[in-house]
Amino acid sequence: MTENTAEHARAAEAARTDAAPLVVAVDGPSGSGKSSVSREVARRLGAAYLDTGAMYRAVAWHCLDSGVDLADPEAILEAARTMPLTQSTHPDEDVVLVGEADVTEAIRGAEVTDVVSTVAVVIPVREELRRRQRAAIADAGRMVAEGRDITTVVAPDAHARVLLTASEAVRTARRSGQLAAAGEPGVDAGTLNRQVVGRDARDAAVSTFDRPAEGVVLVDSTELDFEQTVAAVMAAVEEQAGEAARGARPAEKGQGR
Ligand SMILES: Nc1ncnc2c1ncn2[C@@H]1O[C@H](COP(=O)(O)OP(=O)(O)O)[C@@H](O)[C@H]1O
Ligand SMILES: Nc1ccn([C@H]2C[C@H](O)[C@@H](COP(=O)(O)OP(=O)(O)O)O2)c(=O)n1
């Protein structure tokens, strides 16, 4: 089975409970805080969390691992279609498996980061991953999903949609701090720039995440610390989703989505 399996089903079941359905879509460029902020927002909303970037990264890892020619889109697509992915959607767990291999750390490494855009610009690969993403969202009941095309393509009808941005300088500095915290200090400025700005430029060929689509709320975290950013996203979600954000079902049957 290639769908997000047992972990996903467990998190989805936990999120389902009696609370109102809620889909929150978050997009943004590299280093804007999508993953860390969305994970915390999911905790506060009692929702599951879907890191769609991890799915593209897993395809890239799978291609490197199995010697797929990255110049061959057909071969990349075949790898994406057959990839046995298991991904935790619990906001307190970060576990990504491809088959039996735990790739949670490897997919964040420089080798994968350098080639992930090559995989992500193959349109049929995006269609395959979007299919899996929509299935995960439909299963979860309450979910925060983040990436580059969630507000626009994967879940344009989400209850709340947010574009998270920050200046290029701040995003690059955040990525640098993150690498240092992960035990990889001293990554040179050229490499950092390639991993943040260069990757965004390549990803922008297939997704629009530099400006909000109609109805999407912009949260610029350039001047905000982490807690302030989470608060701003929570406020945007409450404003758009109303009672559902607080977990309440609509008073009368049939009024909710
Ligand atoms: N508003 C913020 N202020 C300061 N640091 C932040 C903020 N948002 C995120 N971070 C930190 O910046 C780094 C990159 O965040 P991350 O969530 O991985 O971004 P993305 O998923 O958009 O690439 C992480 O170390 C995270 O803790
Ligand atoms: N919905 C998505 C999510 C990610 N991607 C692509 C673009 C990114 O370069 C890679 C990795 O995404 P990820 O969110 O992990 O990237 P960063 O956290 O910004 O480093 O996947 C995408 O094309 N569409």
Report all structural domains of the chain as residue ranges with CATH numbers, in order of start. 6-246 (3.40.50.300)
Does residue 33 contact residue 174 with C-beta atoms inside 8 Å? Answer: yes
Which is the closest atom of ligand 2 to the Cα of 199?
A: 9
Ligand 1, atom 5, residue with closest C-alpha? 226
pLDDT score, position 251: 61
Does residue 30 contact residue 196 with C-beta atoms inside 8 Å? Answer: yes
3-state secondary structure (DSSP) of residue 40:
helix
- pLDDT bracket for residue 182 (50, 70, 90): confident
Does residue 57 contact residue 116 with C-beta atoms inside 8 Å? Answer: yes
pLDDT score, position 185: 74
Q: How far from each other are the two terminal CA atoms of the chain, in whole angstroms? A: 30
Greater confidence, 94 or 8? 94
Ligand 2, CB cutoff 6 Å, lining residues: 30, 35, 52-53, 56-57, 116-117, 120, 147-150, 199, 203, 207
Best residue among 37, 116, 129 to mutate for probing ligand 2's pocket (most ligand atoms within 8 Å of CB) is 116
- pLDDT over 90 at 2, yes or no: no
d(CA 68, CA 166): 35
160 phi/psi in degrees, rounded to 5: -140, 140
- pLDDT bracket for residue 17 (50, 70, 90): low
Ligand in nearest proximity to the CA of 202: 2
DSSP β-ladder status, 96-98 and 101-102: antiparallel
Ligand in nearest proximity to the CA of 163: 1
Q: What is the mean pLDDT of residues 177-182?
A: 87
- From the CB of 172, is ligand 1 less than 6 Å away? no
**Confidence (pTM):** 0.91
Q: What is the mean pLDDT of residues 101-114?
A: 96
Which is the closest atom of ligand 1 to the Cα of 39?
A: 17
3-state secondary structure (DSSP) of residue 231:
helix
Which is the closest atom of ligand 1 to the Cα of 51?
A: 21
Ligand 2, atom 21, residue with closest C-alpha? 53
The 10s digit of each residue's pLDDT in 184-220 is 777 888 888 988 999 999 999 999 999 999 999 999 9
- pLDDT over 80 at 248, yes or no: no
pLDDT score, position 183: 81
Q: 135-150: buried (b, 16+ CB within 10 Å) or exposed (e) per residue?
A: ebbebbbbbbbbbbbb
The yes/no answer to whether this complex scores an ipTM above 0.90 is yes
Q: Which two tokens stand for residue 120?
A: 């992500």
